[in-house]
Structure 1
Amino acid sequence: MPQTNHRSAVALSLCLLLAGAGAQANARAADGLQRLALSDIQEQAQAPQKSVTGDTNPATQIPLPDPVQQAPAPEQTQPLAPAPTEAEPAENVDPARPQVKENGTPAVVEYDFSKLPAPVREMRERILAAAKSGDIEALRPLIGTGENMTTLSLSGFEGDPIEYLKGLSGDSNGQEVLAILVDLLDTGYVHLDAGGQNELYVWPYFFAYPIDKLTPKQMVELYQIITSGDFEEMKTFGAYIFYRIGISPDGKWQFFVAGD
């Protein structure tokens, strides 16, 4: 009996030791699981989140806003330039084109060439002398070259200016054009845009005079330059559109053109 009790005590002691060891193992395992779970949470908490600004500092993270549809930017338009008024004429007006003011006072017609500024008077006399010579080449030094050349066409031309004038003439030598120059410079003239940037002395005065207000005397002067058929066409247009000559106050021959 005592021997049996001794075995039982040993077995009981062994069971208690195994139970204690198992409990310690379970405790260590549970502690390990707890540590693993905490480490996972810490790693997830420390993992950087994407930011709008690209900043990886968790303290400065800004949550991404919900996408919203942005309204389209207003269309950019250029302001319209104000239309030129009578007080402020457009700067790009071609002074060689017809300048008749509707319902306005007709330009003052002058016949006294002594009233012309000396440079204008001198250029007129030089053109007359060249035209009366019968040699169209005599106009070449008066027409000039390059940017300072006299305007001979409203739409421009290419080539030699003297050859161009010959092409306009009814004869091959350009003498009809020379005769037109003489006729124009012997008529009355008008002084336009006095003191302005387009100040000019222009022949014939019909260039700036309403053709429906011509007197019988002025009609005779007009028929010295054009035919009655030409006049009927001009009435339809409403202005004189045959050849005209413009000289600036400094004596430069600005233009010799026809058309509208």
Structure 2
Amino acid sequence: MRERIIAAAVACDYAALAKLADEKGQSVRFSFGPDEDPAVYWRSVEEHETTPQPVMALLVQVLNLPFYEQDNLILWPTAFREGATDADFRALKDLYPPGELQAMRKEKTYLGLRVGISLEGDWQLAVAGD
């Protein structure tokens, strides 16, 4: 599943991402905002008129970071886990500015994009924030 998500994100293939999100049942949790199709949401964020954000690139970058297992999920990045280390936060150096990383480390919290796939290969989440 991870490799298929990366391939679809690299190609900015929103339709393929939507299929992967629903492939094994309930859609992937992708936002704390309104319930809508994840592909529609990601495209709107990528193409926002005044503040576009490279969600697809970030998705690929996060899925290429170290992961950890919790319960029945494989989760990225390790900076989100309880007891995250300095090394976990250093792994994010290409994703966030130094000051933002320092603040996250100081607060012992990672609020950036995190991705979760069940051990059975069901894409469960791609969410940022608290």
TM range (shorter): 0.7 to 0.9
CA contact (8 A) 1:135 1:175 kept: no
Higher helix residue share: 1
Rounded Cα–Cα distance in structure 1 between residues aligned with 2:112 and 2:103:
11
Larger of the two Rg values belongs to structure: 1
C-alpha distance in 2, partners of 1:130/1:140?
10
1:86-116 alpha-carbon deviations (Å, 9 max, x no partner):
xxxxxxxxxxxxxxxxxxxxxxxxxxxxxxx
Which residue pairs with 1:168 in the alignment? 45
CA distance in 2, matches of 1:168, 1:238: 27
Q: Which residue of 1 aligns with 2:81?
A: 208
Match of 1:134 in 2: 12
TM-score normalized by the length of structure 1: 0.44
The structure where strand makes up a greater share of residues is 2
TM-score, normalised relative to structure 2: 0.81
Q: Counterpart of 2:100 in 1: which secondary structure?
A: helix
User: Which contiguous aligned blocks of 4+ residues in structure 1 show a shift greater than 6 angstroms?
Assistant: none
CA deviations on 1:167-204 (whole Å, 9 max, x unpaired) are: 333656x88111011101111110112xxxxx210011
Distance 1:188 1:141, change over 3 A: same
Structure-1 residue corresponding to 2:95? 225
Gaps of 5+ in 1: 1-122, 194-198
Partner residue, 1:181: 59
The unaligned stretches of length 5 or more in structure 2 are: none
Identity of aligned residues (%): 34
Specify whether residues 230 and 130 from structure 1 end up closer, same or farther in structure 2 by C-alpha distance, changes over 3 A only: same
RMSD: 2.5
1:201-253 CA deviation, whole Å, 9 max, x = no partner?
00111111545x314xx554211222213213323532111001000111100
Q: May I ask how many residue pairs the two structures share in their alignment?
A: 127
Q: Deviations over 1:113-136 (max 9, x none)?
A: xxxxxxxxxx01110110111333
SS in 2 for 1:134: coil
Contact 1:136 1:175 (8 Å CA) reproduced: no
Q: Secondary structure at the match of 1:255?
A: strand
C-alpha displacement of 1:157: 1.5
1:30-81 per-position Cα deviation (integer Å, ceiling 9, x unaligned): xxxxxxxxxxxxxxxxxxxxxxxxxxxxxxxxxxxxxxxxxxxxxxxxxxxx
